[in-house]
Amino acid sequence: MKDLSNKKILFIICGGISAYKSLETIRLFRKNNAEIKTIVTQNAKKFITPLTVASLSQGKVYEDLFNIENESEMDHIALSRWADVIVVAPITANTITKLSHGSSEDLASTVILASNKQIFLVPAMNVRMWEHQSTKINLKTLKKYGYKFIGPVIGDMACGEYGEGKMSEPLDIYNEIFNFLSNQFKNEKIKALVTAGPTNEYIDPVRFITNKSSGKQGYEIAKSLSKRGFDTTLISGPTSLNVDKNIKLIEVETAEEMFNATQKNLPVDIAIFSAAVADFKVNKKNDNKIKKQENLTISLEKNIDILSYVSNHNSMRPKLVIGFAAETNNLDFNAISKLNDKNCDWIIANDVSKKDRGFNSDFNEVTIYYKNSQDKKEKLFLKRKSEISEEIVDRIVSKTN
């Protein structure tokens, strides 16, 4: 059996007859040296007892949100940070509905909502409930939020019916979580650098040249990398976005500052340049504010090309260099030209002329162009930037592991 020493797993057990399977699942994880803490919901206690769970897990069992003993020992935020991964098994149709609406009415849902870790949901319910349109809509929403599902499977149910909705077997759950944590352990040794946001190129102390980049896609990519265990550094131009504490954030303003920060943080294994770096800067910045005048001429010069510099760096070139191309026309031609000209491994291109995606939007649609690949390009259709980032990182993981 595969060992999970030093791995911390938070189990959340919801109500339902399948709760008994969680006991065997917990026993399996403890047998293989994982450290376990458990939250048992009020409905789950109708099927299993906290004493039984504590005996099998050999760890703390939490029950109520406002329990003074629980909060003094470890509050709900700290509990969500403690775990390497969170497993909700079983999760019922009722809890799926609550999570899809962002509810936080008890300890279980509060911890889930406050978590910055990967959360696996293991559904168990009647086949008709699983196939109901409202359940399908809720599942789609949760997948957009980044939750991952294990099962359900097809089989005989406690209610006497047969079909999809049966909870996955403990060994299948164990193998899925082991594979995730195993990859996470490998990724901890891999350094990733992400650039995001615009740059500001100053004309005088109060005026500058910039662009409409919000930085959202780059921040989401950094978040997805960090969640998978990568040692992640994010170099960001001016944005209003927040970043998880386990991501090393370096804030810059100009292209020159971004270039210097990139140099200082090399070498890395993976470099993803999603920042919309200004191509030009003012030849000579005015020390004082320029007063209104009838005619004003501004002389520009090219900024350093950070992507090209890193991608062509002989001694410190990352194993995987990914550039972004924000285009308004001739997407294929411009992306392929950039892929070849910059000597990068992938170019991720998007059409920023469309208002429902790209700059300042929470949505994106991108095409990945691969160098030296039989499948030259791959389209990721319109979806939230958080989903796009997960799909990009899926492909990075496949490339690096």
State pLDDT tens for residues 156-195. Answer: 887 778 889 999 999 999 999 999 998 888 888 899 999 9
Residue whose entry in the numeric block shows the structure tokens 């791995």: 7
On whether the CB atoms of residues 83 and 8 are closer than 8 A, the answer is: yes
315 pLDDT above the threshold of 60: yes
- % pLDDT > 90, the chain: 75
pTM: 0.81
Q: What is the mean pLDDT of residues 196-222?
A: 95
pLDDT of amino acid 66: 58
CA–CA separation, 166 vs 90, rounded Å? 10
Contact 125, 16 (CB under 8 A): yes
- Exposure string over 123-161, b if 16+ CB within 10 A, otherwise e: bbbbbebbeeeebeebbebbeeebbebbbbeeeebeeee
Q: Which two tokens stand for residue 318?
A: 């990352």
Query: Which segments within 199-317 are labelled E, that is strand?
Result: 201-202, 208-209, 231-236, 248-251, 270-273, 280-282, 300-302
Amino acid at 289: K
* Mean pLDDT value across residues 364-375: 85
Please provide the DSSP assignment of 290-343 as one string. PPP-S-----EEEPP-HHHHHHT-TTT--SEEEEEEEESS-HHHHHHHHHHHHT
* pLDDT mean over 349-353: 91
Candidate ranges 18-27, 65-74, 159-168; pick with highest mean pLDDT? 18-27
Nearest-10 Cα torsion for 252, 258, 262, 265: -20
- Is 350 part of a structural domain of the chain? yes
Instruction: Look at residue 306 in the predicted model and tell me its pLDDT.
Output: 97
| pLDDT mean across residues, the chain | 91
For residue 271, tell me if it sits in a domain.
yes
- Do 203 and 109 have their domain in common? no
- For 370, phi then psi, to 5°, come to -105, 135
Same domain as 116, residue 247: no
pLDDT reported for residue 244: 84
Q: Which of 74-88, 242-256, 306-320 has the lowest mean pLDDT?
A: 74-88
The pLDDT of 261-271, averaged and rounded, is 97
If asked whether residues 193 and 124 sit together in one domain, one would say no
Instruction: Check residue 372 and give its pLDDT.
Output: 78
Above 70 in pLDDT, residue 345?
yes
Residues 216 and 235 both lie in one domain? yes
- On the question of pLDDT at 218 being above 90, the answer is yes
Q: pLDDT at position 159, please?
A: 76
Q: Is the pLDDT of residue 72 over 60?
A: no
pLDDT tens column, 127-161: 999 999 999 999 999 998 889 999 999 988 877 78
Whether residues 177 and 206 share a domain: the answer is no
Q: Please tell me whether residues 172 and 315 are part of one structural domain.
A: no
Residue 360 lies in a domain: yes
Catalytic residue, from 1, 78, 137, 159: name it: 159
Could you tell me whether strands 85-91 and 35-40 are parallel, antiparallel, or unpaired per DSSP bridges? unpaired
- Whether residues 137 and 245 share a domain: the answer is no
Residue 1 domain-assigned (yes or no)? no
Question: Of the candidates 133, 129, 125, 116, which has an alpha carbon nearest to the alpha carbon of residue 151?
Answer: 125
Task: Please report the pLDDT score of residue 395 as a whole number.
Answer: 95
Q: Show the domain range for 355.
A: 188-400
| Residue 153's CATH number | 3.40.50.1950
Q: What is the DSSP letter of 198?
A: B
Number of neighbours of residue 353 by Cβ within 10 angstroms = 13
User: First and final CA of the chain: distance in angstroms?
Assistant: 21
pLDDT at 370: 95
- Give me the mean pLDDT over the 120-128 stretch: 95
2: in domain:
no
Question: pLDDT class for 116, splitting at 50, 70, 90?
Answer: confident
Lowest mean pLDDT among 80-84, 155-159, 376-380: 155-159
Gap between the Cα atoms of 105 and 401, Å rounded: 39
pLDDT of residue 163: 87
Question: Does residue 301 form part of some domain?
Answer: yes
According to the model, what pLDDT value does residue 356 have? 77
Question: Is 82 in the same domain as 48?
Answer: yes
Q: Residue 238: its pLDDT value, please?
A: 97
Q: Which of 133, 150, 185 is the last residue of a domain?
A: 185
For the chain, give the number of residues. 401
CA dihedral 167, 171, 175, 177 (to 10 degrees): 50
> Do 48 and 126 share a domain, yes or no?
yes
Pick from 134, 157, 185: which residue ends a domain?
Answer: 185
**Average pLDDT of the residues in 88-99:** 95
CA distances in angstroms from 315 to 65, 257, 272, 319, 322, listed in the order given = 54, 22, 18, 11, 18
Q: Are residues 170 and 201 in the same domain?
A: no
Between CA 144 and CA 96 the distance in angstroms is 13
Q: State the pLDDT confidence band at 69, using cuts at 50, 70 and 90.
A: low
Active site residue 159: yes
Average pLDDT over residues 241-266: 95
- Among 162, 185, 208, where does a domain finish? 185
The per-residue DSSP string of 32-76 comes to: TT-EEEEEE-TTGGGTS-HHHHHHHH-S-EE--TT-HHHHHH--H
User: Cα separation of 192 and 273, whole Å?
Assistant: 11
DSSP classification of residue 265: T
Is position 220 within any domain? yes
- pLDDT tier, 293 (very low <50, low <70, confident <90, very high otherwise): confident
Examine the domain organization and report whether 62 and 19 are in the same domain. yes
If one compares 359 and 50, the residue with the highest pLDDT of the two is 50
Give me the pLDDT at residue 397, please. 92
Residue 73 has pLDDT above 60, yes or no: no
Domain of 221, CATH number, reads: 3.40.50.10300
> Structure tokens of 117?
């870790």
Q: Quick one: 145 and 232 in the same domain?
A: no
Rounded average pLDDT over 279-295: 89
DSSP state of 121: E
Cα torsion 20, 22, 26, 31 to 10°: value is 60
In a domain, 224, yes or no: yes
**Count of domains for the chain:** 2
Enter the tokens of residue 172: 């299948």
